[in-house]
Structures are given as C-alpha cells and as structure tokens.
C-alpha cells in the first residue's frame, strides 16, 4: 500500500470531503494522517474526525495546522458554511484532534518513514512550506507531493481557463517555497480538474446508497451547490488523490513552475514552462469518463 498524508482545507468546497472519503475507501492506500490548513483548522480537523467516525475509522491521526498564510497580511477566504451539514455543537466538543501541530507531525512522519510518504496536498500549501523551512531534511526524505493546485494554461483548453487557481492564490509565498524545494511534484491543476464535474445524476447514485456516510456527503454536496448556485461541481481534489491509486487517468508532462507573488493583478498565477529536466510533472489531459465512473463506484462501495 502507498503511504499517504493528506493536507486539506476541508469544509469549504465539498471536493475535499469527497477526496478524503475516496482515500479511506481505497485499499491501495495507507493513510498515515490527515492535516488541516487555512482558516479555522480546528473546525476543519473536526470535520475530518466526523468523516472518520462515519466510516468507523479510529486509527488515522488528524492534526490541525496553520490558520493564516505565511505573509499574515493576506486575508483568509471563509464563506461561512464550513461545518454545516456534518457538525453539531455536541460533536465539536467530542471530536478532538491530536494534541500536536500539523507542521511537527508532518516532519516526524516523513523522517520516520524516509522515502515512503506521499503528501497529497488539496489545500493551500502553508503547512508544507513551513515544514520545509523548519526542517529541510524532509526535502530528501519525502517520496513525492501530489498536489491539487495551479493552472498551466498551455494545453488544449487554455483559453477557457482562469489565470489563477484558489489553493495557490491563498498562499502564493508558500506555494513558491514548495515548487522551488526540489521535491518531486505532480501538479494536478484546473487544466484537468475542470473536466471532471459531477451532477444531479451522480448525486442520486450516492443518495441511493442510503448510509449515514453517503447521506452526509449528499448534504455537503447540496450545501456547496447552493453556495455556487449550480447543479454540479468539479471534483478537483478527488482527481489529484486518484493519481495515487490509478495514475493512468492522467497524462503528465515535465515542466518548470514559477509562482507569481508580486504582480498587482496576477498574484498566485502559476507560470508553467515545458522542461524535460524538471522535477515537476504537470497534468495535461484526463480520461474524464473513466475517472468519474471510478469515483462514484468507490463512493458507493461497501469497502
């Protein structure tokens, strides 16, 4: 089994919760821990703990991390629906993450398991950057980073895409530290993740399962769709997570990635330049149909 640690800003976009569920329903993975980042990280950790409880899992450490971007003047985006549909006040009192900081947890786990841990980052990169800064030894001891973040805009759908992606924009300085670290990285950005939406037909399949877990996922999806004023949303984070399980869903190309940290209108932009010698692979195409089938089947499975 591949050893993974998931670093997440779960609770805002529902795709984090779906990705965590996918990971824990996948026998190919051994989830060594889940760390939370950005905003109220304690609340995010409690959401993860509730998901674990719904799956009957009590042996995965959940650790809260850094709440603010590296440069403290950058505002945190917090829509306010985080925790709704899954947490009650009573649950918040009972759900307690590990009494340790996520940065220290990441460093300890990576150094205890040299070249064995894959970091799956599905939120801003603040925890990962801080861990690199605090203990540079993790650079040579982590196996790889699979990242949902960025946008290349050099592939077939470039004109349709935004210039900036949320996870990188939330903490561009942290992203710059991570991309410049030399760690092997696979960047799964908007170039491919915007091609994997789920809609009402997929939601009905999940609803038909009728377990407490799937009912909760349905509520969280509907809350997010009401926020978006939409009947669908893209499974950004599950697609990145799936690369640990079935990399064949994605085609990648080696590229250099530079993060813009100073532009007046372009802070958070990922400038992507093809480079065969780079340590960074960028996803350039996706088998959307096969991925969505795989995702819904796993979510509805009894694993």
Whether 166 sits among the annotated catalytic residues: the reply is no
H helix and E strand count, the chain: 13, 11
Do the Cβ atoms of 151 and 175 come closer than 8 Å?
no
- Both tokens of 289, joined, read 């149909």
Query: How far, in Å, CA of 103 to CA of 62, rounded?
Result: 12
Query: How far, in Å, CA of 258 to CA of 273, rounded?
Result: 8
Q: At what angle do helices 288-299 and 15-24 cross, to 10 degrees?
A: 70
Q: Which of 126, 121, 128 is nearest to 105 (CA)?
A: 128
Do the Cβ atoms of 294 and 28 come closer than 8 Å?
no
Q: Which of 84, 108, 134, 85 is nearest to 35 (CA)?
A: 108
The secondary structure of 154-197 as a DSSP string is -STTGGGS-SB-HHHHH-HHHHHHHHTS---EEEE-HHHHTT-E
Query: How far, in Å, CA of 170 to CA of 180, rounded?
Result: 18
Query: How far, in Å, CA of 193 to CA of 23, rounded?
Result: 17
Point out the catalytic residue in the list 101, 166, 202, 236. 236
Query: How far, in Å, CA of 265 to CA of 32, rounded?
Result: 39
Residue found under tokens 């040299």: 114
Q: Residue 10 in 3-state DSSP?
A: coil
Residues with catalytic annotation?
Answer: 236
């Amino acid at each position: 089994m591949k050893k993974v640690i998931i670093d997440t800003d779960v609770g805002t976009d529902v795709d984090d919760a779906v990705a965590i569920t996918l990971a824990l329903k996948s026998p190919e993975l051994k989830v060594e821990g889940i760390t939370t980042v950005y905003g109220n990280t304690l609340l995010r950790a409690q959401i993860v703990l509730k998901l674990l409880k719904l799956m009957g899992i009590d042996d995965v450490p959940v650790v809260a991390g850094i709440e603010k971007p590296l440069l403290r003047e950058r505002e945190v985006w917090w829509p306010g629906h985080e925790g709704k549909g899954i947490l009650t006040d009573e649950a918040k009192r009972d759900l307690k993450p590990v009494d340790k900081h996520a940065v220290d947890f990441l460093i300890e786990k990576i150094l205890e398991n040299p070249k064995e841990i894959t970091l799956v980052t599905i939120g801003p990169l603040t925890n990962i950057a801080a861990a690199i800064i605090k203990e540079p030894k993790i650079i040579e001891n982590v196996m790889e980073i699979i990242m949902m973040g960025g946008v290349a805009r050099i592939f077939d759908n470039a004109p349709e895409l935004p210039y900036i992606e949320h996870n990188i924009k939330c903490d561009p300085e942290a992203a710059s530290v991570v991309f410049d670290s030399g760690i092997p990285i696979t960047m799964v950005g908007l170039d491919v993740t915007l091609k994997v939406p789920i809609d009402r037909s997929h939601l009905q399949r999940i609803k038909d399962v009728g377990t407490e877990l799937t009912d909760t996922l349905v509520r969280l999806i509907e809350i997010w769709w009401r926020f978006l004023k939409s009947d669908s949303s893209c499974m950004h984070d599950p697609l990145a997570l799936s690369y640990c399980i079935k990399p064949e869903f994605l085609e990648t190309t080696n590229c250099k990635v530079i993060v813009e940290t100073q532009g007046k209108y372009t802070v958070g932009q990922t400038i992507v330049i093809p480079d065969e010698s780079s340590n960074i692979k960028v996803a350039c195409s996706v088998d959307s149909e096969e991925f969505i089938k795989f995702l819904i089947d796993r979510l509805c499975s009894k694993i």
